Amino acid sequence: MGKVIGIDLGGSTTKIVGFDGKIMISPFLVRANDPIASVYGAFGKFLSINSFKIEDIEQIMVTGVGSSFVDSRLFGIPTAKVDEFMAIGLGGLFLSNLKKAIIVSMGTGTALVKAENNAAVHLGGTGIGGGTLLGLSNRMLNVRHFDELIETASEGNLSNVDLTIGDISKEVLETLPSETTASNFGKLSDLVTKADLALGIINLVFQTIGMVAVFNTRIDNTKDVVLTGNLTNVPQAKNIFDQLSALYNVNFQIPEHAEYATAVGAAICFNTEGISMREVL
């Protein structure tokens, strides 16, 4: 059998991953505003990196918002479209090695998918995501790029930005430790710095996403939450989600290659029974 390629066509990035049986090959991304240009560029780069020929590829599976622009076979190879929420769900389960979990896809906004075995259901989401991070940092800090925001936030101090339970109560609350956030940006100190504000923005976005996930775990009676998407690469994310894990007894995890989960899910849908996909002629 030939290799199967999964491609996630987003608004500004295209992610591609290959599978040889169950072995994952060379996940990477390219940035382009034109989805058709980016999908051809990503595929060509994939072939070059791995010294593959077109005839080595058995199937291409595409998903994501940009997949609507794909209306013919790519390079003459059989090509099929996969529902994005199905790809998110199956990709998250595959990378985390779980059979059931809530998969959180953190991109420009955030989508939540309940995944179990070979099924996935879109639970909803929030407009809070990477777009929020960049929008707020641009307006408040004149910072327009993720790398600059992350670097700026590295020296930040949340105690100059966020109001905590300890700030408003002298009593020790069993379910709410004193360091728990009571109000994001509720304590803007006169000593606040650009670094503090940058960290406050990051904390606001990830705490909001985390709490939406926590509420869904209560509804669905599960404890496993798999975080995927580009925002998993923000280094401050792990500490924020670790704190939420301890506070609400929820298992947040960021698997290896989490940013490629949707492309992974698209690829593995090809050999998964019962998955609906639409062939592109």
Bridge-partner residues for 100, per DSSP? 116
244-259: pLDDT as tens digits: 999 999 999 999 999 9
Considering the domain architecture, whether residues 241 and 270 belong to the same structural domain is answered as no
Considering the domain architecture, whether residues 113 and 80 belong to the same structural domain is answered as no
Element (H, E) at 261: helix 261-268
Considering the domain architecture, whether residues 104 and 133 belong to the same structural domain is answered as yes
Considering the domain architecture, whether residues 80 and 118 belong to the same structural domain is answered as no
d(CA 177, CA 122): 33
16-65: pLDDT as tens digits: 999 998 899 989 998 877 888 888 889 999 999 999 999 999 999 999 98
d(CA 39, CA 7): 8
Considering the domain architecture, whether residues 37 and 153 belong to the same structural domain is answered as no
Considering the domain architecture, whether residues 18 and 154 belong to the same structural domain is answered as no
d(CA 62, CA 57): 14
d(CA 223, CA 216): 10
Considering the domain architecture, whether residues 11 and 147 belong to the same structural domain is answered as no
Considering the domain architecture, whether residues 67 and 200 belong to the same structural domain is answered as no
DSSP letter string, 178-202: TTSEEETT----TT--HHHHHHHHH
Secondary structure E strands in 100-175: 100-106, 110-116, 119-126, 163-164
Considering the domain architecture, whether residues 180 and 44 belong to the same structural domain is answered as no
Quote the number of domains for the chain: 2
CA distances from 212 to 75, 102, 107, 117, 217 (A): 41, 11, 15, 23, 9
201-259: pLDDT as tens digits: 999 999 999 999 999 999 988 999 999 999 999 999 999 999 999 999 999 999 999 99
Considering the domain architecture, whether residues 21 and 159 belong to the same structural domain is answered as no
> Over 60: is that where the pLDDT of 281 sits?
no
Answer whether 5's CB lies under 8 Å from 43's CB: yes
Considering the domain architecture, whether residues 172 and 48 belong to the same structural domain is answered as no
Considering the domain architecture, whether residues 175 and 112 belong to the same structural domain is answered as yes
Element (H, E) at 5: strand 3-9
Give the CATH number for residue 26.
3.30.420.40
- Tokens for 194? 């650009």
Domain enclosing residue 142, as ranges: 98-254
Q: What is the pLDDT of residue 1?
A: 66
80-131: pLDDT as tens digits: 999 999 999 999 999 999 999 999 999 999 999 999 988 999 999 999 999 9
